Amino acid sequence: MQDTASEPRAQECFLQQLAAMKLYAAPLDFRAIAAEFDVPTEFSPELHEAAANATDRHAGERIDARDIPLVTIDPAGSMDLDQAVCIEKHGSGYRVFYAIADVAAFIEPGSPLHEESLVRGQTIYLPDEPARLHPEELSEGSASLLPDVDRPAVLWTFDLDANGELASTHIERAVVHSVARLDYDGVQADLDAGRVHPSIALLPEVGELRAASSLRRRAINLRVPSVRVVELDDGQFELVIEPRHKVMDYNSEISLLTGMAAGEMMREASVGFLRTLRPAEESAESTFRTEARALGYSLPDGANIGLFLHTVNAATPRGMAVMREAQKLLRGAGYVDLTEKEPEVHAGIGGHYSHVTAPLRRLIDRYATEVCLALCKGEPVPEWVEQDAPRVIKTMGRTSQLANSVDRACLNLTEATVLQPWVGHNFNGVILRTDQENDEARVFVIDPPVLADCLGHPDEPREATMSLIRADVEEREVVFAWPAD
């Protein structure tokens, strides 16, 4: 099995750490995709006004936690800030403070804002601009954990032992005050230079411990690099594939810790909403092993895939391809209302899990958080949460499928646009798997990094030169052929 320091064949700099390909074809129109999939991208004036006028419904219930020096860590320029963190030493272990935007405080049950969120379900991330769950007045304003202002929040407090294992959990409504809005690039640069913000000085230590914990280390934890499309001043576009910084993984571990703690609370009480995912089928695992070996990795039959993925450097083209193909192991995710069904473990997490850390972007987080608050206080779950539960589950299922479809359409459009001028040219890549019966294959082109279908096939997966024979922007389709002309 490869370790992170010895990528197979060669360390391939992922297009100089921050890949950028200028698109000289027609401008990319992601609004057309939004229209095609009926994604609502605007709010009515009435909803904007309601969001602007919304106030904290739980103002009298909050503790004052403004003395905790919380910070947010998000992509540069983000304004919809769901989470803020601060980590301290606590005896031989750690105390983690994790503040989550209290969106429920601004949305009155039965109100137009409430009803609109039950329709939208979640923010749909188009590359040029997201189709938001809530109006900007909330998601980027009064409900966002922006710096240097007091904000209502739901405050999770975790005590971890010296090994990073969870010892205790507490959740309550609070007033918080973020002292800094940090971004991933800046935090990673600070980590590399040894000058990290004191509120997160322990984040790498705790993140490493959590990733190595007994429940997490065998889970299928994907680290897929993000892709952004940026419009330039001259009307061209730039496809920016961002490296997966370690700080992203560390920050994700705090979110996963919270979701797992919430999931256990709900499982024990047999009430609430779990995010579920059954283990991958044997055939899917076999296919993935074939693809990983074709990309140059050592992944013997029987070796744990979760442990293998921990060793992969996702900031290389081959590492990105491994992570992209591993997504197929996590198909079939869903949500379970524990008042209706038995709890199920999330195979991609390694335990019971609930979505509670992104209420500005996902509907169900608002509801699951209310369950946890009630359980911690020993009170009944709010009636509006119970009444809406069937609709919430249905909406999340529908909009999760919608988000996946939109993601695929945007990626396919971008790849077809990038490659259209190069139809007829040859590319170096890897045949990941072959289908002799249908005379086709699945291929990975290294530069630009693209996964696509291929006509023709060798006898077995191998490195190969292939011809681009189709890049249809209207159909959002890219096809290669082997052997190359």
**How buried is residue 337: exposed, middle or buried, by Cβ count under 10 Å (0-12/13-18/19+)?**
middle
Q: What confidence tens digit (pLDDT) does each residue in 360-409 have?
A: 999 999 999 999 999 999 999 999 999 999 999 999 999 999 999 998 99
pTM: 0.87
Examine the domain organization and report whether 25 and 146 are in the same domain. yes
Examine the domain organization and report whether 339 and 477 are in the same domain. no
Examine the domain organization and report whether 171 and 223 are in the same domain. yes
Domain boundary among 401, 420, 439: 420
Q: What confidence tens digit (pLDDT) does each residue in 190-241 have?
A: 999 999 999 999 999 999 999 887 555 556 666 666 655 556 666 555 555 5
Residue 401 lies inside a defined structural domain of this protein: yes
Residue 54: pLDDT over 70: yes
Residue 311 lies inside a defined structural domain of this protein: no
Examine the domain organization and report whether 398 and 444 are in the same domain. no
Residue 152 lies inside a defined structural domain of this protein: yes
| Window from 158-162, 164-168, 460-464 with minimum mean pLDDT | 460-464
Examine the domain organization and report whether 410 and 471 are in the same domain. no
Residue 141: pLDDT over 70: yes
Examine the domain organization and report whether 391 and 473 are in the same domain. no
Structure tokens, 400: 């999760």
Examine the domain organization and report whether 389 and 451 are in the same domain. no
**How buried is residue 224: exposed, middle or buried, by Cβ count under 10 Å (0-12/13-18/19+)?**
middle
Examine the domain organization and report whether 26 and 132 are in the same domain. yes
CA distances from 474 to 299, 350, 415, 467, 470 (A): 38, 41, 12, 20, 12
Residue 141 lies inside a defined structural domain of this protein: yes
* Number of structural domains in the chain: 2
Domain that holds residue 457: 423-481
Examine the domain organization and report whether 252 and 341 are in the same domain. yes
Examine the domain organization and report whether 365 and 465 are in the same domain. no
Examine the domain organization and report whether 388 and 476 are in the same domain. no
Instruction: Give the model's confidence band at 2: pLDDT under 50 very low, under 70 low, under 90 confident, else very high.
Output: very low
List all residues 6 or more positions away from 341 whose beta carbon is below 8 Å from its beta carbon: none
Query: What per-residue confidence (pLDDT) applies to 22?
Result: 44
Indicate the pairing of strand 426-435 with strand 462-472: antiparallel
Examine the domain organization and report whether 409 and 428 are in the same domain. no
**Is 48:267 a contact under the CB 8 Å cutoff?**
no
Residue 303 lies inside a defined structural domain of this protein: no
State the DSSP H helix or E strand holding residue 153, giving kind and residue range, or none if neither.
strand 150-160
